[in-house]
Amino acid sequence: MSERSFVTETGAIFYEVIEASAPRQEPAPALVLLHNFMSSGRAAWGPLLDTLRVHWRILLPDLPGHGQSIGHPAGFNHRHIARQLAAWLEAEQASQAHLAGCSSGGMLAQLLVAEGLMQPRTLTLVSTTHSTNPATSGHAGQLEPADFKAAPNWMEATARLHDPYHYEGYYEDVILAGFRRLRPETAIDLSLTALASFAMPTCIIHGAADEFFPPAVAQRMAATMPDAELHLIPRQSHALLFRQPWRVAQIMVEFLDKHQ
């Protein structure tokens, strides 16, 4: 494993490169893992790394403004972040890697494809949506941190992912405040028509009881994409990476194995 940073116009993206332990081919194919808003690369994907790193070379960033990364575009604008990620991926020669994202990371993954910034071999979307605009998604719910069905102290635990690298209160002042200010124009608002142009194999993994993005959203996404498979996990709510990481890892390995 090596730790690196990539300079952007708003700061620097911290990331880890984790080499494959038993690659089936040389060089090992790259797998880019994008975490959810308010988390960090290792906090979100850590429990899956031992499984995923066997055959794939992992690129694991902290998204701009998160974890050890410094700086972020104004308002955490996801299209601007996608462009920063695209520049980083080009520098890593990973613009055609396998790509996976959870929640906000899944939104960024879709924007990378929709904006022509990346041509991934495969796309894996965990607990995410194609739009936070109710008029587009058909879901009128608002995203509120208090609605997240997590342990009672999850906010304090999340702050510890960020504050030590910035300052005491950074999480609440910057990241939590930024999440609350996100709107469709700064997050994601892709139409189903846009998803119909996604030609790469796509794996959608979603909780059947997701409190943020109802399963009907994931079902419509899967029905629209030309080459998509949908895995609805019974009785599971949002952010499956934190709830059933072993199940997500199993699905991802089976999916990626089919698309070497």
- The residue whose two tokens read 């906090």 is 43
* Cβ partners under 8 Å of residue 110, min gap 6: 101, 123, 125, 128, 130, 188, 190, 195, 198
The pLDDT of residue 96: 96
Q: Which runs of consecutive H residues, i.e. helices, occur in 103-195?
A: 104-114, 134-137, 154-159, 170, 177-181, 192-195
Q: Residue 230 pLDDT > 70, yes or no? A: yes
The pLDDT of residue 147: 66
Residue 149 binned pLDDT confidence (cut-offs 50, 70, 90):
low
Mean pLDDT of 71-88: 98
pLDDT in tens, 106-120: 999 999 999 999 999
pLDDT in tens, 122-145: 999 999 999 999 999 987 666 676
The pLDDT of residue 187: 96
The pLDDT of residue 223: 98
Q: Residue 148 pLDDT > 80, yes or no? A: no
Of residues 150 and 20, the one with the higher pLDDT is 20
Residue 124: strand, helix, or coil: strand
The pLDDT of residue 186: 96
Report the 3 state secondary structure along 127-138. Answer: CCCCECCHHHHC
Residue 153 binned pLDDT confidence (cut-offs 50, 70, 90):
confident
Backbone φ and ψ of 125, nearest 5°: -120, 120
CB 156 within 8 A of CB 168: no
* Averaged pLDDT of the chain: 94
Q: Residue 146 pLDDT > 70, yes or no? A: no
The pLDDT of residue 25: 87
CB 121 within 8 A of CB 200: yes
pLDDT above 90 coverage of the chain, percent:
89
pLDDT in tens, 176-228: 999 999 999 999 999 999 999 999 999 999 999 999 999 999 999 999 999 99
The pLDDT of residue 160: 95
Rounded-to-integer distance, Cα 18 and Cα 22, Å: 12
Residue 154 binned pLDDT confidence (cut-offs 50, 70, 90):
confident
Backbone φ and ψ of 180, nearest 5°: -70, -20
Residue 151 binned pLDDT confidence (cut-offs 50, 70, 90):
low
- Count Cα atoms within 13 angstroms, Cβ side, for 156: 3
Q: Which domains does the chain have, with CATH numbers?
A: 2-258 (3.40.50.1820)
Q: Detail the DSSP E strand segments found in the chain.
A: 2-8, 11-18, 30-34, 57-61, 98-102, 123-126, 202-207, 228-233
Mean pLDDT of 233-250: 95
